[in-house]
Amino acid sequence: MDKFVETTKAELSQAFAEFEDAGVSKLIIDMRYNGGGLISVAEMTVNLAVGAGHAGDVAYRFEYNDNLASEDYQTTIADIDHSLDLDEIVFLTSSRTRSASELVINALFPYAEVTLVGGDTGGKPVGSKGFDFCEKVLFPITFRLVNAAGATDYFDGLPASCFAADDVLHQLGDPDEEMLATALDFLGTGSCAQPLPPTRAARVDSIGEVVLPNPIERYDIDSW
């Protein structure tokens, strides 16, 4: 999945219909080049991944500053056509994985065994919307995204558990491509071929929280 655009929805529905027919319980999702896009596609991805078992549970929350706390709201998981209840999900990630694609990953942490293979994500846990101001368009940060467990503020990126290079010598989807091969090996063995150093392992175990500067003003957004 290299982007979240409107046409992605039909592709997702078709793919998960096939997964449903095959009785899939574990899945590898390649988001190494996914820089984000429509939140509606991110929500659909979460619903398809775990909606069959977690309908009604919190997917994520939009949080504003203290002055606009009344504007906070949350989105819940829905059981839609072809929703699964995946036990384990491995995401292939890189520094180009950010924004709405990180939203999907973070939202799924409380509901499935989620592992990142490749590299740390880009780190964009906030959103904004453009609005006209003096014949220009401003895009202030207006909110942050928080998952059901309260995890947020991953400005350093969501950390990968298994490191693997983006193997340009093999086609995407080739089981010999390094990132996919590492993910397949992890699903088979439950461990990484190359263990993380202690400092990196500690970061994977706990995403640190930092204080987010107060957003300027609240504006709804569907993509960023």
DSSP character string of the chain: ---B-TTHHHHHHHHHHHHHHHT--EEEEE-TT---BBHHHHHHHHHHHHHHHHTTSEEEEEE--GGGGGG-EEEE----TT----SEEEEEE-TT--THHHHHHHHHTTTSEEEEEES------EEE--EEETTEEE--EEEEEEETT-----TT-PPPSEE----TTS-TT-TTSHHHHHHHHHHHHSS-SSPPPHHHHHHHH-PPP-PPPPPS-----SB-
Q: For each of the chain's 224 residues, which pLDDT tens digit applies?
A: 899 999 999 999 999 999 999 999 999 999 999 999 999 999 999 999 999 999 999 999 999 989 889 989 999 999 999 999 999 999 999 999 999 999 999 999 999 999 999 999 999 999 887 789 999 999 899 899 999 999 999 999 999 999 999 998 999 999 999 999 999 999 999 988 765 655 555 555 544 333 333 333 333 344 45
Q: What is the pLDDT of residue 212?
A: 33
Residue 201 has what pLDDT? 54
CATH number of the 8-205 domain: 3.90.226.10
